[in-house]
């Protein structure tokens, strides 16, 4: 039932992986740990992929990353994932937001439309809401970049 690619784990590595399954905040990391433990028990890559509902390539890459980098190889590295559409530190985004909010106070749909026209990029209403929340949380005045090191 699939190609066998078993890894060998020491007792301390098994304990570490079990702790990762129990306590790590990221679901993806917990799945990687589970895959490694099953591989050590003799499960095939295909069986692990089926059980975790991922592709076999993902399971193989987890095993390879474990062998090459250890535990660090299972964690999502900086720069992976989707790039954000709007950035709090981008002054063009801040200016467009300031203009849109002054025109359409508390209307996320219209603010979204204005931002899309100003920036030439499509986005969801939820993206605009998160950006507004982030901007307000950081205490910016919609025009100036956030000062994260303010002494109060």
Is the full-model pTM beyond 0.85? no
Report the number of distinct structural domains present in the chain.
2
Burial class (CB within 10 angstroms; exposed 0-12, middle 13-18, buried 19+) of 110: middle
Q: Read off φ and ψ for residue 6, nearest 5 degrees.
A: -90, 145
Successive 10-residue mean pLDDT values, the chain, 152 residues: 75 94 93 95 94 94 93 81 83 88 85 92 91 75 47 44
In a domain, 83, yes or no: no
Task: Dig out the tokens for 33 from the structure.
Answer: 């740990």
Residues 98, 68: one domain?
A: no
Please report whether residue 80 resides in a domain: no
Range of the domain at 26: 11-74
Whether 145 is covered by a domain: the verdict is no
Predicted local confidence at residue 64, as pLDDT: 94
């Amino acid at each position: 039932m699939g190609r066998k690619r078993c890894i060998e784990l020491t007792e301390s590595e098994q304990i570490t992986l079990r702790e990762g399954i129990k306590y790590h905040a990221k679901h993806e990391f917990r799945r990687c740990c589970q895959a490694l433990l099953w591989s050590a028990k003799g499960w095939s890559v295909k069986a692990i992929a089926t059980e975790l509902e991922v592709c076999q390539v993902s399971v193989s890459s987890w095993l390879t990353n474990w062998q090459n980098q250890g535990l660090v190889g299972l964690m999502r590295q900086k720069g992976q994932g989707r790039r954000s559409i709007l950035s709090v530190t981008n002054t063009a985004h801040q200016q467009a937001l300031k203009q849109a909010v002054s025109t359409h106070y508390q209307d996320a749909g219209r603010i979204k439309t204005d931002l899309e026209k100003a920036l030439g990029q499509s986005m969801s209403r939820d993206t605009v809401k998160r950006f507004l929340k982030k901007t307000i949380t950081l205490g910016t005045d919609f025009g100036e970049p956030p000062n994260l090191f303010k002494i109060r």
